[in-house]
Structures are given as C-alpha cells and as structure tokens.
C-alpha cells in the first residue's frame, strides 16, 4: 500500500524570507547598502540553500524517503524573485542619487554667470545657505558683507533652452527674522535641471549653517560654529574657531585645524579629522576608513558594531571595516566591537569587549592603570616592558596561555581534559595595575616588549 503521508516541506524558503526581510529592514533604518551586501555576500544564499538541502536529503534518506529533499521549482522561483526585488531596491536607490527625476532633464550642461548684489550684515550675523544641487565654498570676507559669486549650470538639449532655464533662476540674499539666508530663486523643490556653484564670502565672526542636497561643500577659516547638512557630496571644513557639526547621507568628510568640538552623523564614506582642540563624536554608519589624529578631548564613535570612548588622542586612530588601530592615547579607553584591535601606548584605563577579532595591546612604558580585555573566538596578545609590575588574572577557555613573565608569585595551570588555562599572581617589585584577560577558543600570549 502506498504511503499517503505528506512529505515535509523545506524550511529554506522561510529562512530566505527572514534573511531578505531583515536585510530590507536594516536598509531602511540603518542605511546599510543592499548593493554592497549582495555584491560581496550573495554566494551565502547558495551555501545556505545547499547546506539545508544536504541536511534534508540525509534526514529523508534515513526516513526511507530520499525524494523528499529535491529542489523544487517554487524554491528556484522564490530565489530569483527575491533577488529581483533586491535588484529593484538597489536600482531605485541609485536612481534617486545619481539620475534626474525626468527624462526631459537629461541633456548637455551649459554654464552661465551668477550675479548677486552684496548685502551688509552685522559682523556676528546668523547666516544660512540653502542650495539644491551644486557646490558651495565659504570663506571669510574682509568686511561686514555677504558677497556671492559663482556659476549657474543648466541642463538642456540645446543652449537656447538652457538659457531660458538660467534666466528664470537666480540666488538672493534675504533677511529671515534676526538672521540672513542665501537661497535659490525661480527653482522648484527637487529641480535638478539647474544647479548653482556658489562662492560665498561672509563675516568671519558669523555663525554659519549650510543645507545642501547634492554637491561638495568647503568651509575655511570661520571663527564661530559651522553647521553643515549635505546629502551627496564631499564635505571639508578647516581652520574654524567654533564647534563643527556635519550631517550627511553619502559623503566623504575632512575636518582639520579646529578649535571647537566636532560632531559627524549620518551615513557616508571616509572620515579624516586632524588637529582638533575639542572632542570628536561620530555617530552613524560609514563604510570607508575613519581616521583621526591629535584630538585633544578624545573620540566618541558609535555605530551598529562599534561603541568606542577615548578620552584623549595624542597620536593616530584608524577604523576600517574589520580592523581598529589606536596609537598613543594618553587617556582612558573603552571599546566594544567585533573587529581586530591593535592598541599601542595607552596611558589610562583600558577596557576592551570584543568578539571574533584578535586583540593586540602593546606598551612601551609600564602601564599605570588597570587593563581589562574580554574576547571570544579569537586571541589576545599583550606586550609589557620587562620592568613592569602588575597583578594578573588570565583565563582561557579551550586555549593556551603563553607568558614570557616568570616568577614564583605567578601560577599557571591548565586542564589537560578541558583544554582550559589559568594564570594568576603578581609580577615585579612594586605595586602595579590589575590586568584581567579572558578569551575562549583562542590563545593568550603575554610578551616582554622588545
């Protein structure tokens, strides 16, 4: 008699739907680029599919029903359909950022002079610059005036049509309450046939706010706070005397020689910050390298995979996807991440909470503050001067502890069956900091600094 029991359906479609749904959710709320994820990690779908089918085939064979684990046409259709959906999302994102809104906006670009009458303003005026598409460059003026020059760029199929667009569009300087606003005229919201490249001179002591949708923004030598919101385009701020705030959707950012605090938020590419007398705060998802040099009041970096607080940075910090390096940090350091970590010459307390990344900490001079490193699925390497004094507790689950420091007061034990290792005791003649090291499925190595 035939077996009429229904065959169990595969759980691959459910897992795939969960994966794609989570990816789309992160895309909407965390700004993760689906194009980058799929471009690098699409083979994982095939690996997941093959692994599930191999498991199901094995289970079905044991149950006497080898035909229950075949790849069905519905599964193939689901995979192709979801990949098509992700492709549409990528294409829509690209179109929003790189293509004009209507076909009639395509064509050649024609350039026309921009004439704006200067306006006298108080030396400490609040000035806002609003622009749709185009580059903005701001510098201090020699007097208490706003002066705007630059170019109008019109897109059209011929110069005559471009001339008509350009004649209707312009830039004005208007008083807005107790502040002043530089803004386009004759251009509707979202219009991309007209762009303005603005060269703006404002009083050095003016407070400056810039709102730009697409284009590069450069600000130099301002004495008061600078606030920049830019959609797509590079941002550079240098030589400022006040705080700097930058919010971006897709920008490379460079800030140098500032005397205030710096805050960078949003999503983007590379960040380079150097010579800041204030503090640096980075809050967002940036897929490029993040570099910081000589930040007097420290660094705060918060993303979906990293939570870093550094009270002072005299040297260099660089955070790349999968790798974090910090050199010459006199202040306290606290970091939680999932990257390889290299730390040299920390001067304050060190607290590291890491997963799946090797941690390498090195001291050229004997540390004076406590060190705590908690890792998992990766190793820890600690290098200390031979003259250092310290109290240590090190635990390694399913791994070995190797120490170049030997003393009667240091006791190393290991379990031959469990594979665990434990080191505890004191080293040196004086009173030193307490060192706590923990890891699993990785080794702990303690070396003498060469």
In a domain, 320, yes or no: no
Cα–Cα distance for residue pair 79/35, rounded to 1 Å:
17
Query: Per the domain annotation, does 123 fall within a domain?
Result: yes
- Helix, coil or strand: residue 17: helix
Task: For residues 144 and 176, state if they share a domain.
Answer: yes
pLDDT at 233: 95
Residue 164: the pLDDT is: 86
Residues 159 and 128 in one domain: yes
Regions of the chain short of the pLDDT cut 70: 1-13, 16, 26-42, 57, 60, 63-73, 75, 90, 92-107, 189-190, 416-417
According to the model, what pLDDT value does residue 54 have? 73
Neighbours of 80 (CB within 10 A): 10
Residues 46 and 151 in one domain: no
Same domain, 43 and 74: yes
Q: Please indicate, yes or no, whether residues 114 and 75 belong to a single structural domain of this protein.
A: no
Beta bridge partners of 203: 141
Query: Token pair for residue 429?
Result: 């003649």
Pull the structure tokens for residue 289: 């390298």
The answer to whether residue 314 is domain-embedded is no
Is 88 domain-assigned? Answer: yes
Do the bridges between strand 313-320 and strand 333-337 make them parallel or antiparallel, or are there none, so unpaired? unpaired
pLDDT single digits (tens) 396-448: 999 999 999 999 999 999 876 678 999 999 999 878 999 999 999 999 999 99
What per-residue string of b and e applies to 413-446 under the rule 16 or more CB within 10 Å gives b? eeeeeeebbebebbbbeeebbebebbbeebbbbb
Q: Are residues 151 and 199 in the same domain?
A: yes
Say how many domains are in the chain: 2
- Dig out the tokens for 53 from the structure: 């089918």
**How far apart are the C-alpha atoms of 132 and 130, rounded to whole Å?**
7
User: Residue 311 falls within a domain, yes or no?
Assistant: no
- Quick one: which H or E segment has residue 256? strand 253-258
Same domain, 113 and 58: no
Calculate the dihedral angle through the C-alpha atoms of 125, 131, 134, 136, rounding to the nearest 10 degrees.
10
pLDDT at residue number 344: 97
Q: Which residues, at least 6 apart from 449, have a Cβ–Cβ distance to it below 8 Å?
A: 362, 363, 364, 383, 384, 385, 386
Tokens at 7, concatenated: 């065959």
Domain carrying residue 87? 12-98
Same domain, 201 and 107: yes
Q: How far apart are the first and last CA of the chain?
A: 79
End residue of a domain, out of 215, 234, 253: 215
Does the residue 51 lie in any domain?
A: yes
Report the interhelical angle of 73-98 vs 34-41 (nearest 10°): 140
pLDDT tens for residues 294-328?
999 999 999 999 999 999 999 999 999 899 999 99
pLDDT at 171: 95
- The CA–CA distances, whole Å, from 405 to 47, 325, 399 equal 46, 26, 18
Looking at residue 37, its pLDDT comes to: 66
Q: List the one residue out of 217, 296, 300 whose CA is nearest residue 259.
A: 296
- Among residues 165, 192, 215, the one where a domain terminates is 215
CB 365 within 8 A of CB 430: no
Rounded to the nearest 5°, which phi and psi values hold at 82? -70, -40
Residues 117 and 42 in one domain: no
Locate the DSSP E strands across 321-405: 323-329, 333-337, 340-346, 350-354, 359-362, 371-374, 380-384, 390-397, 401-403
Query: What span, in angstroms and rounded, lies between the C-alpha atoms of 184 and 173?
Result: 9
Q: Residue 349 and residue 249: Cα distance in Å, rounded?
A: 35
What pLDDT is recorded for position 1? Answer: 43
Amino acid 106: pLDDT: 56
Same domain, 68 and 146: no
Q: Are strands 235-238 and 217-220 parallel, antiparallel or unpaired?
A: parallel
At which of 33, 63, 98 does a domain end? Answer: 98
DSSP string, 306-328: -EEEES-EEEEEEEETTEEEEEE
- Give Rg (Cα) of the chain: 29
- Structural domain includes residue 161: yes
Do both 90 and 116 map to the same domain?
no
Mark whether 187 and 158 lie in a shared domain.
Answer: yes
Alpha carbons 121 and 31: distance in angstroms, whole number: 40
Maximal CA-CA distance, the chain: 100
pLDDT of 6 reads: 44
Domain membership of residue 427 (yes or no) is no
> 149: which strand partners?
199
Secondary structure letter of residue 406 according to DSSP: -
């Amino acid at each position: 008699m035939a077996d009429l029991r229904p065959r169990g359906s595969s759980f691959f479609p459910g897992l795939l739907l969960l994966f794609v749904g989570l990816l789309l959710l992160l895309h909407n709320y965390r700004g993760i680029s689906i194009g980058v994820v799929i471009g690098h990690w699409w083979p994982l779908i095939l690996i997941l599919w093959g692994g599930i089918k191999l498991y199901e085939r094995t289970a079905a064979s044991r149950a006497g029903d080898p035909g229950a684990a075949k790849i069905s046409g519905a599964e193939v259709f689901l995979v192709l359909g979801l990949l098509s959906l992700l492709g549409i999302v990528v294409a829509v994102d690209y179109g929003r950022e790189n293509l004009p809104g209507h076909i009639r906006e395509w064509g050649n670009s024609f350039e026309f002079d921009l004439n704006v009458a200067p306006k006298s303003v108080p030396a400490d005026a609040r000035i806002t610059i609003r622009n749709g598409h185009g580059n903005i460059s701001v510098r201090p003026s020699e007097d208490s005036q706003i002066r705007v020059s630059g170019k109008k760029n019109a897109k059209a199929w011929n110069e005559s049509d471009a001339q008509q667009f350009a004649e209707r569009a312009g830039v004005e300087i208007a008083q807005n309450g107790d502040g002043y606003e530089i803004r386009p005229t004759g251009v509707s919201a979202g219009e991309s046939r007209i762009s303005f490249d603005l060269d703006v001179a404002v009083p050095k002591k003016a407070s400056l706010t810039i709102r730009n949708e697409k284009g590069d923004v450069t600000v130099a030598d301002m004495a008061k706070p600078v606030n920049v919101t830019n959609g797509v385009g590079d941002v550079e701020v240098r030589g400022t005397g006040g705080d700097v705030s930058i919010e971006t959707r897709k920008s490379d950012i460079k800030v140098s020689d500032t005397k205030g605090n710096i805050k960078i938020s949003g999503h983007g590419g590379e960040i380079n910050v150097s010579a800041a007398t204030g503090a640096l705060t980075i809050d967002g998802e940036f897929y490029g390298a993040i570099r910081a040099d000589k930040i007097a009041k420290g660094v705060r970096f918060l993303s979906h995979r990293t939570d870093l607080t550094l009270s002072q940075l005299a040297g260099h910090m660089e955070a790349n996807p999968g790798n974090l390096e910090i050199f010459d940090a006199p202040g306290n350091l606290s970091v939680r991440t999932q990257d390889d970590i290299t730390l040299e010459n920390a001067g304050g307390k060190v607290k590291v909470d890491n997963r799946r990344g090797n941690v390498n900490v090195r001291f050229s001079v004997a540390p004076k503050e406590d060190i705590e490193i908690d890792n998992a699925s990766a190793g820890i390497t600690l290098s200390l001067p031979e003259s250092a004094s310290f109290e240590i507790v090190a635990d390694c689950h399913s791994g070995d502890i190797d120490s170049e420091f030997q003393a009667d007061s240091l006791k190393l034990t290991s379990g031959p069956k469990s594979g665990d290792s434990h080191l505890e005791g004191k080293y040196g003649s004086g009173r030193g900091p307490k060192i706590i090291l923990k890891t699993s499925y990785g080794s702990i190595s303690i070396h003498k600094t060469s």
